[in-house]
Amino acid sequence: MRIVVCMKAVPSTTEVRMDPVTHTIVRDGRQAVVNPFDASGLEVALEIRERLGGHVSALSMGIPDTVRLLRDAISRGADDGLLLSDRAFAGADTLATSYALSRAIARGGMPDLVVCGKMAVDGDTAQIGPELAGALGMSCVTDVREIEHVDEGHITARRRRDGALELVEAALPCVITVAKDAATPRMPSIAGVRRGEAGTVEVLDAEAAGCDPARCGLDGSPTQVVRSFVPERSATAERVEGTSAEQAERIEQIVEGMAL
């Protein structure tokens, strides 16, 4: 079983402060971490390999520093890592991202299974998994909560869909996107850490990955941000003053007045 796990580097906190003077976003050089859903995705892949044997590769498109996270994936048990890193990839929207990742995945033959996180916490688009499936001509199961069964030809998984849990079966090759409860990521062992340090993370630029530069990064992105702005808010709220008890009394009045 050949499995590719897509792992994205995201800011360690999705909270961002606004500088009160310049009104710009301030980030305090916090290190990127692996998207938490992707950490579960790696664990799902490792558990499948433990049962069926095979090979697990961790794949990311990101800045050079992302090598660190792929080494960490190796220390947890991935067989190898592949990083797509090139300024030509910069500014990619979901179409350009899925294009580059799909080229890297298809390199050296189609894997049996591609595992993505349900979403990246810094963008929450949840588009890459289904787009990869479309680009690779694979079927797709999103928001997987539990893998019920995998064999050489099929995967059976429980997925969440609009308030219901569905048990579905897909033929391999297939893309799945996983929620956190699909698996709890293991910690690296000491031997694992050494393996991570020694392990191979191949770094490819767009050309080496066989990507058409016109379909990568900004150039390959149909969508464009034309404007970003801080939304205006009217500050017309009534101030409810006083002690907690007085405030509670006033809230009670307001609620009463609404005749709900």
Ligand X SMILES: Cc1cc2nc3c(=O)[nH]c(=O)nc-3n(C[C@H](O)[C@H](O)[C@H](O)COP(=O)(O)OP(=O)(O)OC[C@H]3O[C@@H](n4cnc5c(N)ncnc54)[C@H](O)[C@@H]3O)c2cc1C
Site residues (vs ligand X, CB under 6 A): 14-15, 122-124
Say whether residue 53 binds another protein (CB under 8 A). no
Residue of the chain from 6, 73, 84, 119 that contacts another protein (CB under 8 A): 119
How many chain residues are in contact with ligand AMP, going by CB under 6 A? 25
- Give the span between the Cα atoms of 13 and 15, in whole angstroms: 5
> Two tokens at 208?
């080496």
Say whether residue 184 binds another protein (CB under 8 A). no
- The answer to whether 104 and 231 have CB atoms below 8 angstroms apart is no
Closest CA to 2 of 84, 115, 144: 115
List b or e across 163-193, with b for residues whose CB sees 16 or more CB atoms inside 10 angstroms: eeeeeeebebbbbbbbbbebbebeebeeebb
Taking CB under 8 A as the criterion, which residues in 75-104 touch another protein? 85, 87-88, 90-91, 93-95, 98
Residues 6+ apart with CB under 8 A from 197: 71, 75
Taking CB under 6 A as the criterion, which residues in 33-52 touch ligand AMP? 35, 37-38, 41
Which region among 3-11, 49-57, 103-111, 230-238 touches ligand AMP (by CB under 6 A)?
3-11
Site string for ligand AMP, 127-156 (x = CB under 6 A): xxx---------------------------
Report which DSSP code applies to 180: G
- Give the span between the Cα atoms of 71 and 67, in whole angstroms: 6
Q: Kindly state the smallest distance separating residue 251's Cβ from ligand AMP, in Å.
A: 39
Say whether residue 125 binds ligand AMP (CB under 6 A). yes
52 contacts which partner out of another protein, ligand X, ligand AMP, none, CB within 5 to 8 A by kind?
Answer: none
Q: Which residues pair with 155 in a beta bridge?
A: 150, 170
Residue of the chain from 73, 105, 119, 144 that contacts ligand AMP (CB under 6 A): 119
Residues 6+ apart with CB under 8 A from 69: 7, 9, 32, 33, 34, 60, 62
Q: Kindly state the smallest distance separating residue 226's Cβ from ligand X, in Å.
A: 20
Site string for another protein, 190-219 (x = CB under 8 A): ------------------------x--xxx
Taking CB under 8 A as the criterion, which residues in 214-253 touch another protein? 214, 217-219, 221-231, 233-241, 244-245, 247-252
50 contacts which partner out of ligand AMP, another protein, ligand X, none, CB within 5 to 8 A by kind?
Answer: none
Closest CA to 12 of 61, 75, 69: 69
- The answer to whether 156 and 148 have CB atoms below 8 angstroms apart is yes
Q: Kindly state the smallest distance separating residue 184's Cβ from ligand AMP, in Å.
A: 17
Report which DSSP code applies to 137: T
Say whether residue 54 binds another protein (CB under 8 A). no
